[in-house]
Amino acid sequence: MERPALCCVCQVIAPSLAPIKPGDRVKTDRRDAKMLLGLFAAGPLTQVHPPDAPQEADRELTRCRQCAEMDRKRARRGTQE
């Protein structure tokens, strides 16, 4: 049995990409909700998506290369961290 398609749009926004005013550090859910609604309506929020399999493989390769490079440098200096 197939489910009917629901007409619901979901966008994931990275909190670190939301613009924040320098003096606006008070954290309350109500204030955050109002701020996010205003930013969403204005359009400056950046939508993010999870990486697909090839992108994740590329990221893993990059992380492995960085670890290998750090290991090589540590071995060269004769230090361990």
Phi, psi of 79 (to 5 degrees): -115, 160
pLDDT over threshold 60, residue 1: no
CA 9 to chain centre: 19
pLDDT at residue 60, as a whole number? 97
Looking up tokens 């550090």 gives 25
Contact 36, 19 (CB under 8 A): no
User: What pTM, to 2 d.p., does this model score?
Assistant: 0.50
Kindly state the average pLDDT of the residues 54-72.
96
Give tens-digit pLDDT for 7-60. 777 788 887 777 877 777 777 888 888 888 888 888 888 888 888 999 999 999
pLDDT at residue 75, as a whole number? 92
H and E: helices and strands count for the chain: 2, 2
pLDDT at residue 2, as a whole number? 66
Neighbours of 18 (CB within 10 A): 15
pLDDT at residue 80, as a whole number? 63
